[in-house]
Structure 1
């Protein structure tokens, strides 16, 4: 009964916010257009608000799972019109909290002890409540202040039902809308399903936080709170409590005389360090997850929380991305086009000259602006949208990267509007490329592989002998296979000749039998001649 009620609620929300207007009726089959014309709410509920606002309000009305989906969808600017993506980005991750008694019961069930035994004190009033979890403050018996994140009870079942409905809607979108397949809604839902179910296992988030903390151990620009594994399970996470200024609270930052220019530049440095040095980046760096330490306003330090979504790049993607960005800002569009082909992001059959021309037509207007006004995130977006016209496959790791870069860039410009992102990033990229490609990189690679090479050196003669033996055996096997193929070819040729001969014989017999004199002499019926002819053609066809 519950899925039926849920489906009826979704139908009501679709009607209330006139989501039917998102479909281009002319691109649909006639019978679908007739169904849309007959929808009763078309004549009762006007679609006054902009389409992006109506979609955002509809997702908010459908609850936390759909809100989370809308947030993820807002990052797919390669698939959505700008007005819709911008409106979806406004979705807030705040929902009513669930009762503290349930949070307490979950903690006790997961950790196997009562809250009073586990903590010196535990605040029943939640600090924050999000779509899949809420956070309580507590103090350990040794006096350390912590935050306890608890997964919402029953949320996995609710998410599974809603994700199944999303798959149904995605399938209908593909069937009813010509552009539906191009937008790949089923793959978008699949990506969302993996992301949100990963977030339901807080051990994964804790592991991400531990890795990020290790990467920035001792850093003066980013602090990552400590994870307390003794109090962490699938549905419960314990983390060091931090005290900082929310990065979006400009009033407090100015009141404590924070060096905003330095803070903005350090945000860029943190992003590129995560992407190119560590290949492990916090992919949910919106203002709600970023704080600024109060300790030293002149040398400010970021504090990051919420590690449910992280991204990484392969060494090849790192290299291609860095070279793409450097080539782009040098206006070397031929190299940008060639790098997209070399990386496999677009098909090998792509006309590199046409691709280069398309990139130039998109990028040249951007360079009419001063460098400090050029949006790095929109540069990537422009490149990906252009590449998509040349059948570029959607690269999930690049979508996460673009989302993170847009967050960082928006944050940096909010802190310091005159931030020149390119001036800050270019030296980092150039030094990284030199370090990766130069003699030092070759020396490091040899040094890293030296123990393994030395270990295998005594085995080298045997390995060479085994390889030669294997090659020889492979050659013998190949020769035997070729001989077998030749024998089969001869047998096939004989079968072909035999069937052709039999077929020709049947046809000749049919012609002879069809002669009036022969037919009278042998007392043959006409159907017998046709039967012989049919047999002849069948044998020839088989040959």
Structure 2
């Protein structure tokens, strides 16, 4: 049964009211897409709509649809290579220019959450919002000691709508997994559930505050990136240091100030690989509204990390697998790439690995020899997903967040410096990381660091051994009992089979005799009748 029919009808009404079917000329769309868009025109809201020529209809429609729709718009806003300029200009506004909510409601939320009056907390509070996004709204203020701060407050009453929308997505994911092999290979519904938890975590600003403090610790004293300090936080409110900078998409300001965009792009990519491999803690929501650049020192600019709500982490094994895969691609060694994927358990038994290597070389190979401005990263990613479907590869859900982040990074890098050679920059970073983590001396040191924990746990070893032996004993006794029952059952079956065979053979013999010599059957029956009569007399 389709969940939340009322919500689906509401989304249909919004799409029809804003005439989203008129965003792109019908002749530029695939035939199947034209049929889907025709449903929008069937809604009565489309018949009287005056939004057809509204230049901001997509932005306003996504705002009305809610936080998940806004998140989708933010993701697409980084893809200047895929989205037409007239649509992109609307999506960019979703990064920090979503419709704000009433400031009096916001102040009440601050007071309830931080247990103090706004005037007690701040020497100045600016009622005009600095930014408004899908989950929260940001205002500027000043503490009583003069420090300039930003006050981030979550939007009211959005949790229930997010939960409702994810129930619809879960139903859709289950439907696709039951019908489409590629959706099963991607573990689509697991990805939806992981993303559901990520979005719900984003509603808790205390988690974002903890992430920000952790990221600040990793980059303390860094010449590449600055992370603002957090002063106060709660579930609904976070007060942090106010920074000065411009969004990474503001290339006009970079050119006006004479910034080296190539250097900036290289630093951005270095930061990304540092987060993924050194810290295993990477920013997974890198749209331009969350990545700023300092303008105080144009000759040596730093990135500024904002909104650390959605962060990604990989297991140690997945880190090593991803690093080795990237190095294999950079070295154009696609057989090694397949071996790495096979060792990770992503390839089912019986797969033609030579054919898989040829497909990966054909699809991924051109990435190594081309600059970013000639790459269609999203298109290549779709081709890789198609290969995964055809060869029944198992793609771990935890890597999908990393792929989403890579789409963000590639989109930002293309805008900032299209000629950036990402492979030349990434290869030494990855090579050094792999060597460091495969260093036997380092591995021995890590084992040595675990010795105290092992010694502390040694006191529990005797009881654990006794429990294990008792468990093995009980398991052995159970297996013996099962084996005896199986042997008994086997003997019964064999006995029954022999009896059936003997009985069947006798019947076959009697039938043959009856056909060949009917008189012989009569004689046998007379003899048997005599034996029966004699037995009755003796009894």
Band of TM-score, shorter chain: 0.7 to 0.9
Q: Residues of 1 paired with 2:256 and 2:77: CA distance? A: 33
Equivalent residue number for residue 347 of structure 1: 348
Q: Residue 185 of structure 2 contacts residue 395 of structure 2 at CA under 8 Å; is this kept in 1? A: no
Q: Residue 181 of structure 2 contacts residue 389 of structure 2 at CA under 8 Å; is this kept in 1? A: no
Equivalent residue number for residue 314 of structure 1: 315
The 5 Å alignment of 1:163-202 reads 163-168=166-171, 186-187=189-190, 189-202=192-205
Q: Residue 359 of structure 2 contacts residue 387 of structure 2 at CA under 8 Å; is this kept in 1? A: yes
- Name the stretch that deviates more: 128-137 or 480-489: 480-489
Q: 1:83 to 1:144 in 2, by over 3 A?
A: closer
> TM-score, length-normalised on structure 1?
0.76
Q: Residues of 2 paired with 1:170 and 1:14: CA distance? A: 21
Give the secondary structure class of the aligned counterpart of 1:138: strand
> TM-score, length-normalised on structure 2?
0.76
Q: Residue 153 of structure 2 contacts residue 236 of structure 2 at CA under 8 Å; is this kept in 1? A: yes
Q: Residues of 2 paired with 1:367 and 1:274: CA distance? A: 22
Q: 1:284 to 1:388 in 2, by over 3 A?
A: same
Gap runs ≥5 in structure 2:
48-54, 527-539
The 5 Å alignment of 1:480-495 reads 480-481=477-478, 483-493=480-490, 495=492
Aligned pair count? 493
Q: Residue 78 of structure 2 contacts residue 287 of structure 2 at CA under 8 Å; is this kept in 1? A: no
Q: Residues of 2 paired with 1:301 and 1:308: CA distance? A: 21
Q: Residue 17 of structure 1 contacts residue 58 of structure 1 at CA under 8 Å; is this kept in 2? A: no
- TM superposition shift of 1:199: 1.1
Equivalent residue number for residue 148 of structure 1: 151
Q: 1:453 to 1:481 in 2, by over 3 A?
A: closer
The 5 Å alignment of 1:231-380 reads 231-367=232-368, 369=370
- TM superposition shift of 1:435: 1.2
Q: 1:372 to 1:64 in 2, by over 3 A?
A: closer
Is 2:493 aligned against 1:496? yes
Q: Residues of 2 paired with 1:38 and 1:120: CA distance? A: 54
Is 2:72 aligned against 1:70? yes
Deviation string 1:243-274 (CA, Å, 9 cap, x unpaired) is: 11222212222233323222111111101110
Give the secondary structure class of the aligned counterpart of 2:289: helix
Q: Residues of 1 paired with 2:180 and 2:346: CA distance? A: 26
Q: Residue 329 of structure 2 contacts residue 368 of structure 2 at CA under 8 Å; is this kept in 1? A: no
- TM superposition shift of 1:239: 1.2
Is 2:134 aligned against 1:127? no
Q: Residue 75 of structure 1 contacts residue 399 of structure 1 at CA under 8 Å; is this kept in 2? A: no
Q: Please report the RMSD computed on the Cα atoms of aligned residues, expressed in angstroms.
A: 4.6
Equivalent residue number for residue 444 of structure 1: 445
Q: 1:319 to 1:368 in 2, by over 3 A?
A: closer
- TM superposition shift of 1:171: 5.7
* 1:138 aligned to which of 121, 141, 148: 141
* 2:110 aligned to which of 103, 107, 114: 107
- Name the stretch that deviates more: 501-510 or 231-240: 501-510
Equivalent residue number for residue 526 of structure 1: none
Equivalent residue number for residue 391 of structure 2: 390
Is 2:93 aligned against 1:96? no
